């Protein structure tokens, strides 16, 4: 049995009683069409099951209406939340966001960039795996297509950057601790990530700048497993009370889970402060005090940069401190 022929634009035009040009203008959305004509065309297209040929449109317009997003991994719920916000930001103009996870690998990151460039995406949003060793991938992307680094960056490339001021975030934590914590009973300890990425590096620098170069520090990775391990080390070292400042909410969740599992009181014995404010933060119980990144505004900023074809601008955003039950406000 022969396969049924797919409906064509000419079929839609005959059924609607209009020209093929009118069908093209209506379905492409490139020019205004009389509402009556528009209704006839859309109803005819639905009746025939006609679908716009996106590949053909891309070849004609030399655009694919796609944006690629390369994230370091999808285990960290913060990156998943960023992908969701970007998807929402691009939904109105009908741009498809394609997501690729590097799974923490520089080689996989490079493959993801090559794959997106081969698919001729209109723009590429990249959260680099490494502050320095991701430079070849970022440079290759920026040389081929409008590239915006998000959250993390490799300095000295042609790519734009959209992100939060990590040092400003740590200053907010310092101000909170100064007004709400008795550091004689809750001394500060920092649980962060190794400074392989700009975000980890800048948050560590911010801690040392706003607290002390000698602040007790444990460095691992951006994971709940590392947070649990760090909390176990803190208890093993004999800490009976502390203010645990973390580099990310996902780490804070691990710290919180282990302390509660060991029967420790939060916030009476231990206070916990996170960083990011989306994704993992909603899972915390008790609720998490955290530095929140304005990801909705960041996503809209990326859309504006891409729509304006601005390849040079970088946008920095100030974070906010969200007070939760793990480190309540008040006078120490």
Give percent above pLDDT 90 in the chain. Answer: 67
Phi and psi dihedrals of 153, rounded to 5? -150, 155
| 26 neighbors 41 (Cβ within 8 angstroms) | yes
Q: At residue 19, does pLDDT exceed 50?
A: yes
**pLDDT confidence of 29, banded at 50, 70, 90?**
low
pLDDT at 60: 41
56-59, Cβ contacts within 8 angstroms, sequence gap of 24 or more: 57/28, 58/120
Q: DSSP labels for 160-181?
A: EEEEE-HHHHHHHHHHHHHHH-
Model pLDDT, residue 1: 39
- Tell me the pLDDT band of 98, cut-offs 50, 70 and 90: very high
What pLDDT digit, counting tens, does each position of 118-177 carry?
A: 988 989 999 999 999 999 999 999 999 999 999 999 999 989 999 999 999 999 999 999
Q: Which residue has the tokens 């502390």?
A: 242
Cβ neighbours, 10 Å, residue 114:
14
- Give the Cβ contact number of residue 79 at 10 Å: 23
- Average pLDDT of the residues in 28-54: 74
Exposed / middle / buried, residue 283 (Cβ in 10 Å: 0-12, 13-18, 19+) = middle
| 238-284 pLDDT tens trace | 999 999 999 999 999 999 999 999 999 999 999 999 999 987 788 89
Give the mean model confidence (pLDDT) for residues 302-318.
83
Measured between alpha carbons, how far is residue 54 from residues 13, 51, 183, 197, 253 in Å?
19, 9, 60, 37, 43
Query: Beta partners for 231?
Result: none
User: How far is residue 227's CA from residue 288's CA, in Å, rounded to a whole number?
Assistant: 14
Of the listed ranges 12-26, 144-158, 229-243, the one predicted with least confidence: 12-26
Question: Is residue 5 pLDDT above 70, yes or no?
Answer: no
Residue 10 confidence (pLDDT): 80
309 pLDDT higher than 50 = yes
CA distances from 227 to 10, 27, 39, 52 (A): 61, 51, 57, 49
Q: What is the mean pLDDT of the chain?
A: 89
> What confidence tier does 63 reach under pLDDT thresholds 50, 70, 90?
low
The confidence score (pLDDT) of residue 50 equals: 74
Residue 31 has pLDDT above 70, yes or no: no
**What are the structural domains, with CATH classification, of the chain?**
9-52 (1.10.260.40), 66-163+296-317 (3.40.50.2300), 166-294 (3.40.50.2300)
50 or 39, which is more confident: 39
């Amino acid at each position: 049995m022969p396969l049924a022929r797919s409906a064509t634009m000419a079929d839609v035009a005959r059924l609607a009683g209009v020209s093929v040009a009118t069908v093209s203008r209506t379905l492409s959305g490139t020019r205004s069409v009389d509402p009556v004509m528009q209704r006839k065309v859309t109803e005819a297209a639905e009746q025939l099951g006609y679908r716009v040929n996106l590949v053909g449109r891309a070849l004609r317009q030399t655009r694919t209406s796609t944006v690629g997003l390369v994230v370091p991994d999808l285990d960290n719920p913060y990156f998943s939340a960023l992908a969701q916000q970007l998807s929402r930001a691009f939904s109105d103009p009908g741009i498809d966001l394609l997501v690729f996870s590097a799974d923490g690998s520089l080689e996989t990151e490079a493959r993801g960039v090559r794959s997106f460039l081969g698919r001729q995406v209109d723009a590429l949003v990249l959260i680099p795996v490494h502050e320095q060793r991701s430079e070849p991938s970022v440079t290759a992307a920026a040389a081929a297509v409008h590239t915006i680094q998000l959250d993390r960056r490799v300095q000295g490339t042609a790519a734009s950057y959209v992100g939060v001021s990590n040092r400003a975030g740590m200053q907010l934590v310092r101000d909170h601790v100064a007004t709400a914590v008795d550091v004689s009973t809750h001394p500060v300890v920092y649980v962060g990530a190794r400074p392989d990425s700009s975000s980890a590096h800048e948050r560590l620098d911010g801690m040392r700048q706003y607290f002390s170069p000698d602040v007790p520090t444990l460095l691992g990775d951006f994971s709940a497993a590392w947070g649990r391990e760090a909390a176990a080390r803190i208890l093993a070292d004999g800490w009976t009370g502390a203010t645990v400042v973390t580099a990310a909410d996902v780490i804070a969740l691990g710290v919180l889970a282990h302390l509660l599992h060991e029967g420790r009181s939060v916030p009476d014995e231990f206070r916990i402060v996170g960083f990011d404010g989306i994704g993992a933060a909603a899972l915390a119980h008790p609720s998490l005090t955290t530095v929140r990144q304005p990801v909705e505004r960041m996503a809209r900023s990326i859309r504006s940069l891409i729509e304006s074809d601005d390849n040079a601008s970088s946008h920095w955003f100030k974070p906010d401190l969200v007070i939760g039950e793990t480190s309540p406000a008040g006078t120490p």
